C-alpha cells in the first residue's frame, strides 16, 4: 500500500505522559506537591523526601542514577510518575562524574567553559534517555531550587531581579526546552504602607504557582492554564490525566536481547559501529553497553539503524 499524506495524517489531541519542571525557593513545598502526582517514585538526590511517606530510590553517583533509570525502564513496577528531586543536585552528580572520568579535580580544570559544555552534552543525553520511561506511560517531574539573578536589558536603562532555575547557564535552557510545563512556585508578597507613607513588602505563608513567563521569572505551559494558580495539586491535576500504562511483562527481555532483535541480521555491522564509537569492546555483547546509551538507541531505533548503515557504507569500499 502506497503511503500518502492522507494515510499518515492524524487529528485530535494526543494523550501522553507529561514532562514537567517545578522550581521555587527552598522549603516552599515542591516535594510535597509532587508527591501527589499519580503513583510517584522519587529519585532522591539530596534527602529531600525524608519527611514524607513516599517510595524513593537514592543514588550518590551518576552511574547509580543511570542504573536506576534503566531498571525503571526494563523491570516490572507499578509506578506512574518519576520525580527527580532535585535536578540541580543531579547536575552536581553529573559534574562529579565528568570530572572523575577525565581525572579532573574540578569542572573548571577543563578550561574556560569547556567542562560546563561537556556537562550540558551529557545532560542532553540523559534527558533523551528518559524517553523510554515516557513510552512506558510514566510522567516525569523535575524539581529544582530557584535562584535570583540580576537581569539587564541591553536597550534599556536599569536592571531588575528575576527568578531562574538554579542550574548552570548551559543546562537551564535544556530543561526549559525539554519540559512541556515549567512552573514557578513562590510565596505571595504584598506591599503595605505604614503611617509615614513608607511602603514595604509583607510576606505570609500563602503560596502560588506561576505558569507563564514574565520579566520576573521563567515559566511556561502548553495546557492553557491560568497565569496564577493556587499552590495545590488539584490546580494542575488535569495535566496529569489518565494515561494508559505500558506495563513490562515478567519475562521482559534484557536490553541486550532487545538490541539483538532490533539489528537482527545486521549484528556484525551494529557491533562494528559500536566498537568504532568506543561503546563496545571487541567480542563484547549488547548487554555490555552503558545503560544510558542503550536506552538512547531503543528510544530512537530508526536513527540508530540509519547511523549503522551510513557507517557501514563509509567503511566498506565499493567493488
Establish if 318 belongs to a structural domain.
Answer: no
Check: CB of residue 251 under 8 Å from CB of residue 24. no
Establish if 41 belongs to a structural domain.
Answer: yes
Give the length of the chain: 319
Distance CA 67, CA 58 (A): 11
Residue 202 and residue 291 in one domain: no
Q: What is the CATH number of the domain that holds 102?
A: 3.40.50
Last residue of a domain, one of 206, 239, 272: 239
Distance CA 58, CA 44 (A): 5
Establish if 81 belongs to a structural domain.
Answer: yes
Last residue of a domain, one of 239, 272, 295: 239
Report pLDDT for 319: 41
Phi/psi region, residue 158 (left: phi>0; alpha: psi -120 to 50; beta: rest), is: left
Establish if 210 belongs to a structural domain.
Answer: yes
Residue 290 and residue 223 in one domain: no
pLDDT category of residue 163 using cuts at 50, 70 and 90 = very high
Report pLDDT for 318: 47
Residue 84 and residue 113 in one domain: yes
Distance CA 130, CA 293 (A): 11
Establish if 23 belongs to a structural domain.
Answer: yes
Last residue of a domain, one of 211, 239, 267: 239
Would you list the DSSP string of 75-143?
S-----EEEEE-HHHHHHHHHHHHHHHTT-SSGGGG-TTHHHHHHHHHHHHHHHHTHHHHHTT-EEEEE
Distance CA 309, CA 314 (A): 9
Check: CB of residue 66 under 8 Å from CB of residue 291. yes
Distance CA 82, CA 43 (A): 7
pLDDT surpasses 50 at 98: yes
Report the range of poorest mean pLDDT among 7-11, 99-103, 112-116, 160-164.
7-11
Residue 119 and residue 233 in one domain: yes
pLDDT surpasses 70 at 187: yes
pLDDT surpasses 90 at 254: no
Burial of residue 85 (number of CB atoms within 10 Å: 0-12, 13-18, 19+): buried
Angle 178-175-294 from CA coordinates, rounded to 5°: 65
Enclosing domain of residue 128: 19-239
Establish if 265 belongs to a structural domain.
Answer: yes
Residue 58 and residue 162 in one domain: yes
Cβ neighbours of 206 (radius 10 Å): 11
Distance of CA 248 to the CA centre of its chain: 22
Report pLDDT for 134: 92
Q: pLDDT of 277-286, one tens digit each?
A: 888 888 888 8
Residue 73 and residue 175 in one domain: yes
Residue 203 and residue 271 in one domain: no
Q: pLDDT of 282-317, one tens digit each?
A: 888 888 888 778 877 877 777 788 888 888 888 755
All three cell numbers of 90, joined, read 543531579
Residue 163 and residue 223 in one domain: yes
Establish if 6 belongs to a structural domain.
Answer: no
Amino acid at each position: 500500500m502506497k503511503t500518502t499524506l492522507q494515510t499518515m495524517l492524524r487529528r485530535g489531541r494526543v494523550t501522553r505522559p507529561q514532562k514537567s519542571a517545578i522550581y521555587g525557593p527552598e522549603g516552599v513545598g515542591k516535594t510535597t506537591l509532587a508527591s501527589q502526582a499519580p503513583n510517584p517514585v522519587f529519585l532522591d538526590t539530596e534527602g529531600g523526601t525524608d519527611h514524607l511517606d513516599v517510595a524513593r530510590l537514592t543514588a550518590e553517583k551518576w552511574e547509580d542514577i543511570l542504573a536506576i533509570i534503566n531498571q525503571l525502564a526494563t523491570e516490572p513496577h507499578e509506578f506512574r510518575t518519576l520525580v527527580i528531586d532535585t535536578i540541580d543536585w543531579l547536575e552536581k552528580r553529573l559534574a562529579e562524574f565528568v570530572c572523575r572520568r577525565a581525572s579532573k579535580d574540578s569542572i573548571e580544570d577543563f578550561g574556560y567553559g569547556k567542562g560546563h559544555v561537556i556537562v550540558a552534552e551529557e545532560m542532553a543525553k540523559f534527558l533523551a534517555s528518559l524517553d523510554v520511561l515516557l513510552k512506558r506511560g510514566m510522567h516525569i517531574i523535575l524539581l529544582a531550587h530557584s535562584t535570583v539573578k540580576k537581569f539587564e536589558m541591553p536597550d534599556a536603562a536599569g536592571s531588575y531581579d528575576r527568578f531562574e532555575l538554579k542550574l548552570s547557564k548551559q543546562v537551564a535552557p535544556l530543561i526549559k526546552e525539554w519540559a512541556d510545563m515549567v512552573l514557578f512556585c513562590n510565596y505571595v508578597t504584598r506591599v503595605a504602607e505604614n503611617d509615614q507613607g513608607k511602603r514595604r513588602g509583607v510576606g505570609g505563608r500563602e503560596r502560588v504557582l506561576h505558569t507563564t513567563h514574565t520579566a520576573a521569572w521563567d515559566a511556561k505551559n502548553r495546557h492553557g492554564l491560568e497565569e496564577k494558580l493556587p499552590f495545590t495539586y488539584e490546580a494542575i491535576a488535569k495535566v496529569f490525566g489518565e494515561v494508559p500504562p505500558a506495563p513490562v511483562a515478567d519475562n521482559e527481555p534484557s536490553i541486550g536481547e532487545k538490541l539483538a532483535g532490533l539489528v537482527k541480521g545486521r549484528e556484525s555491522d551494529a557491533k562494528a559501529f559500536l566498537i568504532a564509537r568506543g561503546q563496545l569492546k571487541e567480542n563484547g555483547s549488547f548487554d555490555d553497553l552503558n545503560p544510558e546509551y542503550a536506552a538512547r538507541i531503543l528510544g530512537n531505533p530508526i536513527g540508530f539503524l540509519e547511523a549503522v548503515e551510513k557507517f557501514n557504507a563509509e567503511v566498506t569500499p565499493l567493488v
